[in-house]
Every structure is written in structure tokens, then in C-alpha cells.
Amino acid sequence: MFSIVALGCAMMTPSSLDSTGLRALADKRHLNFGTCAFSDGVKADIDGGKYRQGILDNFNMIEPENDLKPPAMWQGLGKIDFTKSDYLIDWARSNKLKVRGHVLVYASDWGYTIPRWLLDKEKDITPEQAKQILHDYITAVVGRYKGKIAMWDVVNEAIEDGPNSRPFNLRDSFWYRKLGTDFLVYAFQFAHEADPKCKLYYNDYSVEIGGTKTENLFKMVDFLKSKNAPITGIGFQFHRWAVEVPKPGDKFYETLQQIADRKLTFMMTEMDLSIPIKRLTRTDPDYGLVPASPEDLEQQAKSYEAFMRLGLSFKNCEGIQLWGYTDGHSWIPGSTGGSRGAALLLDKDYKPKLAYESVRKVLAGR
């Protein structure tokens, strides 16, 4: 089910591929290989042009990191601001990058997931109105990018980590309170109606390694299939620690095999493999960047190699995407209070790390 990406490197010899970025290698094996990206960074051509160029050299797919999230664009009923997403998606298309959409329903009330104004109106909204609101939002967003976005994360992070009594351990969210488990089905249906050719994903974290959350994921997927919801696959985020080195037969492989058994595709959607870093004050220019122990960079290279091999060993893998590519722009230090970071392939100055070389090796088929 790999999609064909233009073979820009057909005439290249293996040695010339070695000196190019990762994109040529990914194109050569028809692999969707992506990174998240932010519209403002691309528009302002930040870091002396390196940010844009690093994307173009290394990836054939991008996913807006925040610019397509409901709180970023949805400003009121019938009011959606597409300025940033339009810019990024136009730029991607003019550079022959595929686009992954993220996200239509971020099924939580917490953090940067749902617009505050909608929560504030909650008591005045009936379930029927909520269904219509969901329909109108998804129709507007998916419809605008029909044929331009290859796949969407339709529902993101609906399953809670700690136990609760809701079906599939769903989070307590606006959409669940209004519509129960039907919100999941409606979201997929509305997205499919708006762009019938688009691939539609459920996306979550910590579901790639087996255990209770994975079991809940499978229960939810089986429920969606029983309702004929048009789901193509599962996005496994893969925000992991670089101490891990998956091996055939382990829990990672077992989980992905269960996806294949269910005749679904999957993508690694947000991979970053973090290491411990020195705690510095937030104002320090190296905040989130200095490994606590330099040996961790070698471990990280091994870990990246093993995770890449994990994804590529499955025929139903529709792609591998990283949550950023330079340590200078990564959500990890901010979300771990500065205790972890340096999770990506290039350092903050856009120099390739050991992990970059190990990813290159795997993509080159070595």
C-alpha cells in the first residue's frame, strides 16, 4: 500500500546518494518519510534558510505541528482561520511534499486540544447541535484541502492513560459528553464524506508497546470497524526514550503484527527518541540541548536504527514520520521540564548527529 513518490533520484549512483539528504533515499524506496513543520518557521525562512532547506533535503512529507489543530484555527461557530495552514500546505505542494493532516478531533479537554470558546458554550449545546457542529467543522476543513491532504489524523489521543469506567477507557471530553462513543464514528464518516479518497487514521501515543492502553486501542478499532467507520489505519506516535532497541518478536513487533492481522495500515507518525539532558535555566541558549552524557548519542543512533527497521519490516507501514528533525525545534524539552531532549536527527545548528547516519544507513538498505 505504499504510495508512489516521484523518483527524483533515478539517475543517481549509490555513491552520489550517500552525499545527499534522506529524501532521495526515501523516494527511491517509495517510502513516505516525513517531519512535522510549522508555518511561521517556513514563512519567515528561519535559521538563515536552514529550516526550510533541511525539510526539502530530507523529507517527502510534512505534517503541520500545530497549525491544523482546532484551537489554532477554529475561532467560533462558522469561523475558521486558514491563513497559516494554507501557507504551509501551498508551500508543501509547490515543493512536491505530501501532506498529513493533524488533527480533526483531539479528544480531550486538556491543553491545546479543543477551543476554549466551545467548552465555554457547552451547557447551551444539545447533542444534536454538537453533531452538527462536528459535521460542519470537519466538512469545512477536510473539504478545503480535498485532494491536497493525503491522510488525516481524524481522532487523536482519545484513550486515557489511567483507568476509568468509560468504554475503551476514553477520556472525558466535550465530544464524549455530548455524543458518547458515536463521536468517533461520526468523525470518520464526516471526514470520508468530505474527501472520499483521503486516508483516515486514529492516532495515539504509548499504544505501540502492548499492555492495557493497546488493548483499549484494539477494542476501539474493533468497535469502529463494527460500525463500518471508514478507518484506514493507526498512527503510532512513537515518542519514546532512546534506551529502547526493538527486536523482532518483542512487544513492538507483536503490536504492529496485530494491526496487520486486522487488515489495517499503520504509520509511525511522531517519532522522537529523547535522551537525558543537563538541566539548564530556560533562558540558557542551550536549554534542552546538552546531553547529560555524550555516550547517549551513540545509544540514540542504535535506537533510531532499530525503530526504523521495526517500521520498515511491515508491508502495511504507510510511512515513517518524525516529530521535527532539528533539536533546535522540538517539543520535548518544553514538555519534560527540561529533563529530556536532543531527540532528533540534526543538532540545533543543523549538523547531522550519529542518529542521522543510522537512519541514512537503514533507508539506503544497509
- Which residues are catalytically annotated? 157, 270
Establish if 65 lies at the interface with ligand XIL (CB under 6 A): yes
Query: What's the min distance (Å) between Cβ of 66 and ligand XIL?
Result: 5
Nearer to ligand XIL, 237 or 358 (CB): 237
How far, in Å, CA of 223 to CA of 25, rounded?
38
* Site string (241-270) toward ligand XIL, x via CB under 6 A: -----------------------------x
Contact status: 112 vs ligand XIL (CB under 6 A): yes
What distance in Å separates the CA atoms of residue 355 and residue 20, rounded to the nearest whole number? Answer: 16
Region 196-215 residues binding ligand XIL, contact defined as CB under 6 A = 205
What is the spatial distance between Cα 356 and Cα 345, in angstroms, rounded to a whole number? 5
Beta strands 317-322; 265-276: pairing state: parallel
- Applying CB under 6 A, among 188, 331, 350, 356 the residue interacting with ligand XIL is 331
216 touches ligand XIL (CB under 6 A): no
Least Å distance, CB 22 to ligand XIL, is 21
Give, as one character, the DSSP assignment of residue 159.
B
* Min separation Cβ 50 and ligand XIL, Å: 19
CB nearer ligand XIL, residue 43 or residue 121: 43
- Backbone CA torsion sign across 71, 75, 77, 80: negative
Closest distance to ligand XIL from the beta carbon of 36 (Å)? 7
Q: How far is CA 155 from CA 42, 171, 184, in A?
A: 26, 12, 7
Q: How far is the CB of 132 from ligand XIL (least distance, A)?
A: 26
Asked whether position 145 contacts ligand XIL by CB under 6 A, the answer is no
∠ Cα 256 113 319 (to 5°): 30
> According to CB under 6 A, which one of 156, 232, 255, 303 is a site residue for ligand XIL?
156
Q: How far is CA 244 from CA 127, 259, 273, 349, 358, in A?
A: 44, 21, 9, 26, 15
Nearest CB to ligand XIL, comparing residues 345 and 363: 345
How many chain residues interact with ligand XIL (CB under 6 A)?
8
Q: Which is closer to ligand XIL, CB of 46 or CB of 77? A: 46
268 conformational bin, left if phi > 0, alpha if psi -120 to 50, beta if neither: beta
Note whether 66 binds ligand XIL by CB under 6 A: yes
When the beta carbons of 65 and 109 are compared against ligand XIL, the nearer one is: 65
Q: Does 237 bind ligand XIL (CB under 6 A)?
A: yes
- Phi-psi group of 180: left, alpha or beta (phi > 0 → left; psi -120 to 50 → alpha; rest → beta): left
Q: Which is nearer to ligand XIL, 257 or 336 (CB)?
A: 336
Smallest Cα–Cα separation from 191: which of 130, 232, 227?
232
Q: Indicate the residue among 21 and 70 with the shorter CB distance to ligand XIL.
A: 70
Residues contacting residue 242 through CB under 8 Å, at least 6 positions apart: 273, 274, 275, 296, 299, 300, 303, 304, 343
Q: Is 35 a binder of ligand XIL (CB under 6 A)?
A: no
Does residue number 168 form part of the binding site for ligand XIL (CB under 6 A)?
no
Least distance to ligand XIL, CB of residue 241, Å: 15
Is residue 27 a contact residue for ligand XIL (CB under 6 A)?
no
Residue 190 to residue 185: CA distance in whole angstroms = 9
The number of C-alpha atoms within 13 Å of 10 and in the hemisphere containing its C-beta is 4
Q: Rounded distance, CA 10 to CA 126, Å?
A: 57
Contact residues toward ligand XIL (CB under 6 A) are: 65-66, 112, 156, 205, 237, 270, 331
